[in-house]
Structure 1
Amino acid sequence: MSATTYAPALAGHYGFRQAARMEWIKLRSLRSTMYALLLTVAGMIAMGIVTMANTKAPQGASRVASFDPTNNVLAGVALGQLIIGVLGVLAISGEYSSGTIRSTLAAVPDRRLALAAKAAVFGALALVIGEVVTFVTFLAGTAALSPGVPRPSLGDPAVLRAVLMSGAYLAMVGLMGLGIGAITRHTASAIGVLVGITYVLPALLAGTTGTTVAKFFPTMIAGNSLAVTVPVDGMLSPWAGFGVLCLYTAAFLAVGDRLLARRDA
């Protein structure tokens, strides 16, 4: 068979569906994926239970008005985001470090299609895990509340929204990690950038400028906008915060996509 007849067959065979199936096989076959997801689930549930077990009933009218047990029970998101984010980084940087990216791009020469398939598969998995673990954490944490402490319910105003958005937040941080990994193609530097954006910079800015700038960073949005049922003064509203996170995610993936399309494996 000549090359002129063989190449079109390859080009027509590998589409998004085939690329996504390949990414799913790679993702589920890695032990690190399962271990990381189990650590996310166990860590978030444990933090939710411990936090709620140590939550005391508020005293005084001002404390009662600002008391937000839903925000307390979702405190484990701060741990879960790190694990999911690092897993997102490894989903692509691990291929560069091991050299398997050559096989991936040999099977799917269109780099943008390969990244889109990877983002779709990893994002869907992270979203499912994020939603499941936040709901389980909420139920387990509220069950651990001491008698006399107001117990939140999914039927209470804004509680279901807070739980759903917290689960979606984990998926978006995972996709941010994937985008950063595509930009740097180096695990250590990508994790460093991810940690800087989610932990270091917002903490530094909060200490120097208050919430004026820090409120636009992912961790501050998660803890003070998405996971709250009682609005926090000076912070973004839940939907505004969610919109900012969508912009972060889209920006990292877009830059990663552009750089990946220009580089040789």
Structure 2
Amino acid sequence: MSTATATAPSPTSAPVAQGKVTQLRVLNSEWIKLRTLRSTPITLLVAVAAEVGLGILVTYLRASHPRHGGVEHINGAELSLAMYRLAQLAVGVLGVLIISGEYTTGMIRASLSAVPKRLPVLWAKAAVYGAVLLVLMTIASLAAFYGGQAVLSSYGQAAHMSDPGVTRVVFGTALYLTVIGLLGVATGALIRNSAGAIAALFGVLLVLPGLADLLPATWVPNVVPYLPSKAGEALLNVVPDPSLMSPWNGFALFVGYAVVLLAAAAVLLKRRDA
């Protein structure tokens, strides 16, 4: 006489429900990556410290020790925000590392295996980092501006947000730094090597304008205003610089460079092996 023995199914044999890959889920994944990356808080802290801390310090030193030992008229808004030049190094480097670091460690294979269409990964990295930068750099720009004006008020040279061009420069600084970060993401995706991408990014942004001094004088007006950094910096002058593009046209061109690089990175991401 035989008896049948019922065996309870093993808990480990239960099918695992797998959710559909959506852009929202990829965004959440990239947000987790960004905030848990060790270099993120350090690099962003350096950017904020450069723009706010050094900005206030430079403002104080310039106001308390005027050039040529006499009374000097100071553009308070531009002076207090001048350290964006250092902050851009930090946000640009982090933008590169966000994606090139995954190629270095090999984690990019796991990311692209989880998201076979690939492009949502790039869009999510750019969107998450861009949003973080826009919020953080806006706060930093406001802090640098108001901190600098608090210093300059003792010398009777403080600027005010209601002054012509000041609001554009304050919020334009945050926009400029956000686009720098996106250029970093695009360059990292294109070159996929951290050192090479960082060198390329800042070669174009910082070295290329210096090399423009070697051009014939007749070429300069037709070349320099359209360089990426010069186009973006047109937004950062309280009184528009006649040698550059108009503020918003220059910034539009600057954004265009970022869009073109991100589009090129998207094409290569689809075509190249991880």
Q: Please indicate the TM-score interval, normalised by the length of the shorter structure.
A: 0.7 to 0.9
* Counterpart Cα distance in 2 of 1:222 and 1:207: 22
User: Any gaps of 5 or more consecutive residues in structure 1?
Assistant: 1-5
Matched, 1:229 2:254: no
- Match of residue 173 from structure 2: 166
- Match of residue 102 from structure 1: 109
- Match of residue 121 from structure 2: 114
- Match of residue 229 from structure 2: 219
* Counterpart Cα distance in 2 of 1:232 and 1:68: 14
- Of residues 23-32 and 197-206 in structure 1, the stretch that sits farther from structure 2 once superposed is 197-206
Amino acid at match of 2:48: V
CA deviation string 1:20-42 (max 9, x = no partner): 00000000001100000001111
Indicate conservation of the 8 Å contact 2:76/2:148, yes or no: no
Aligned length: 251
Amino acid at match of 1:229: V
* Counterpart Cα distance in 2 of 1:222 and 1:264: 34
Question: Counterpart of 1:182 in 2: which secondary structure?
Answer: helix
- Match of residue 146 from structure 2: 139
Q: 1:17 aligns with which of 2, 24, 32?
A: 24
Task: Give % identity.
Answer: 39
* Counterpart Cα distance in 1 of 2:169 and 2:216: 27
* Counterpart Cα distance in 2 of 1:169 and 1:24: 22
Paired residues for 1:33-112 under 5 Å: 33-56=40-63, 68-112=75-119
Cα distance change on mapping 1:109 and 1:221 into 2, 3 Å: same
**How much does 1:215 deviate?**
2.3
Indicate conservation of the 8 Å contact 1:134/1:163, yes or no: yes
- Match of residue 133 from structure 2: 126
Matched, 1:193 2:203: no
* Counterpart Cα distance in 2 of 1:82 and 1:149: 32
- Match of residue 8 from structure 2: none
- Match of residue 3 from structure 1: none
* Counterpart Cα distance in 2 of 1:140 and 1:128: 18
- Of residues 148-157 and 82-91 in structure 1, the stretch that sits farther from structure 2 once superposed is 148-157
Amino acid at match of 2:235: L
TM-score by length of 2: 0.85
- Match of residue 148 from structure 1: 155
* Counterpart Cα distance in 2 of 1:72 and 1:204: 25
Cα distance change on mapping 1:143 and 1:207 into 2, 3 Å: farther
User: Any gaps of 5 or more consecutive residues in structure 2?
Assistant: 1-14
**How much does 1:58 deviate?**
9.5
**How much does 1:165 deviate?**
1.1
- Indicate the RMSD between aligned Cα atoms, in angstroms: 2.2
Question: Which of structures 1 and 2 has the bigger CA Rg?
Answer: 2
Indicate conservation of the 8 Å contact 1:20/1:117, yes or no: yes
* Counterpart Cα distance in 1 of 2:95 and 2:216: 31
Question: Counterpart of 2:182 in 1: which secondary structure?
Answer: helix
The ranges of structure 1 where at least 4 consecutive aligned residues each deviate by more than 6 angstroms after the TM superposition are none
- Match of residue 244 from structure 1: 253
TM-score by length of 1: 0.88
Question: Counterpart of 1:13 in 2: which secondary structure?
Answer: coil
* Counterpart Cα distance in 1 of 2:216 and 2:104: 39
Cα distance change on mapping 1:230 and 1:142 into 2, 3 Å: same
- Match of residue 33 from structure 2: 26
* Counterpart Cα distance in 1 of 2:260 and 2:24: 24
- Match of residue 175 from structure 1: 182
